[in-house]
Amino acid sequence: MTFGLEAHPVSLETERVDAYDGSSHSLEMKLLDETAALDEVRNLLAQTQTARLAVAFWGKGAIERLGLSREGLKAEILCNLDSGACNPAELRRILGLPDITLKSHPSLHAKVYWTPSAAVLGSSNASANGLALEGQQATSWREANIRLNDPEVLGEIATWFDGLFNQGYEIGEEHLGRAELIWNARARSAPSGTPLVSDLLTAYDKAPAHPAWSQVKLAYWKDYLAEEDQAWLEAEHRNGSLSSAVSAYGEWNDYIFPNDWVLDFDLRGRSPKFGGIWSVLAAEAARAGMRLVRPVKQIEFAALGGLTLAEKDAARLAKLGEIVLAQHSVDGRNAVIDLSTAVGLMQAVQVRPNEKAFRAAMEQLYKDARKIGYRSPAFRKMLDQHGGVDTARRLIRGQATSGFATLLEKGRLDLSAEALILQPRWRELFYPEELAMAEKRLREVGYFSKP
């Protein structure tokens, strides 16, 4: 069966006459987005006693989102545990449901939700957000699904499912244990669903819930290595066991782990200094309590690309030094925190962003918009005449511009002034009512995922 889809949601209806009894069935095919699809699946499951679900990837919240724990529902579920994109904790919960039979097929990539009355097929996986990705990191993904109720096609789907289900294997605890290792590793390299950027804090603002950020640490210190540790390190340099570029942190092995990234801040002087980005070596140091590191130019994540720390942001983070020591240090002189904690501290102490820096961010919007074929001389003129903050205020407080409509059409509202001012690092430059206006305008066009 083939059919054409326009750029907007469509519903195709027709009528089929049964060849045997002459009765007619109203046939319908409907296009559903990521939210509507899972709502429709939940409705179908609420009205049936039996279901067959061949859905490759399962994330946290799937049971609640789909209503799988409803009394009276008997379902067969086929997933792909071997892919590493199923949350083992959620599968354990599914295994605990009395009327659910769960199997895995290592080649499954389909997303099919079948009931005797209708089925939904498409790209939406089973989780609170319709993706194996979980939480806020999944909110920017867009999905496409079809709901159909053709009895002939439903019969074909059931036959197809039964064949695959018979080939699948029953999931045991040993399978879940192995899958947990893959799941944890895959989560750190999962795509963020946002455009790639090279600035560290901008990337964090766009996907703050991404698991990769747990590997970014900030080290604030006043005490150098202990003399015996420094002597060992220098001896390793001299005998060639370690490159002269390799340094180390001492007594922080419970906070800094192999393959982490460290932003270093030296608090020994009158003014705190940013000591650069350091990559933690995978190899363990021969000396107990030492964590080996080497200097790098950027943080590199498979899912997020290369990330650098802007000079202005390094200065802002450095100013947090004494606060970090007061709140997170055991000895009052040295401390390690993760990136999310650092961003939270910046917001809590209201380190006011620089208006000059915001002007630069607005300039970057203009440059990025040109790269996708949108040029706005009027925006450029406003920046020159009024500066970044006042230009943003004028755009927010006025009616939605043709530029906003163009970015909406191109699917790049992340390049709008509305989206920019809502980033945590810039919010304090604007009044609450301006932030509310920006959020309302973006929400009205579906920029934010529905809850």
pLDDT band at 441 (very low <50, low <70, confident <90, very high): very high
Average of per-residue pLDDT across 145-169 = 94
- Kindly state the percentage of the chain with pLDDT values over 90: 56
Average of per-residue pLDDT across 124-150 = 64
Q: What pLDDT score was predicted for residue 76?
A: 96
Q: How far apart are CA 251 and CA 12, in angstroms?
A: 66
Lowest pLDDT segment from 48-52, 135-139, 233-237: 135-139
Query: What is the overall mean pLDDT for the chain?
Result: 85
Q: How far apart are CA 20 and CA 36, in angstroms?
A: 35
Q: Is the pLDDT of residue 152 over 60?
A: yes
Q: b/e for 179-188, b at 16 or more Cβ within 10 A?
A: bbebbeebbb
Burial of 426 (0-12, 13-18, 19+ CB in 10 A): buried
What is the SS3 assignment for 142? coil
Is the CA virtual torsion 147, 153, 155, 160 positive or negative? negative
20 against 377, higher pLDDT: 377
Q: How distant is the alpha carbon of residue 200 from its chain centre?
A: 15
Q: What pLDDT score was predicted for residue 8?
A: 41
For the entire predicted model, the pTM comes to 0.51
pLDDT band at 220 (very low <50, low <70, confident <90, very high): very high
Q: List the beta strands (DSSP E) in 161-281.
A: 169-170, 216-221, 247-250, 261-266, 273-280
**What are 286-307's pLDDT values in tens digits?**
888 899 999 999 999 877 888 9
pLDDT band at 451 (very low <50, low <70, confident <90, very high): very low
Most confident of 124-138, 184-198, 309-323: 309-323
Q: Is the pLDDT of residue 131 over 50?
A: no
**What are 164-203's pLDDT values in tens digits?**
999 999 998 888 888 787 777 666 666 655 666 789 999 8
148 against 82, higher pLDDT: 148
Q: What pLDDT score was predicted for residue 259?
A: 93
Q: Is the pLDDT of residue 6 over 60?
A: no
Residue 330: DSSP 8-state: S
Q: How far apart are CA 438 and CA 451, in angstroms?
A: 18
374, 398, 418 from 394: Cα distances, Å: 20, 6, 11
Query: Thinking of the domain 12-17+24-188, which architecture would CATH place it in?
Result: 2-Layer Sandwich (3.30)
pLDDT band at 25 (very low <50, low <70, confident <90, very high): low
**What are 252-287's pLDDT values in tens digits?**
999 999 999 999 999 998 889 999 999 999 988 888
pLDDT band at 53 (very low <50, low <70, confident <90, very high): very high
DSSP string spanning 274-316?
EEEEEEEPSSPPSSTTEEEEEEESSEEETTTEEEB--HHHHHH
Q: How far apart are CA 338 and CA 244, in angstroms?
A: 27
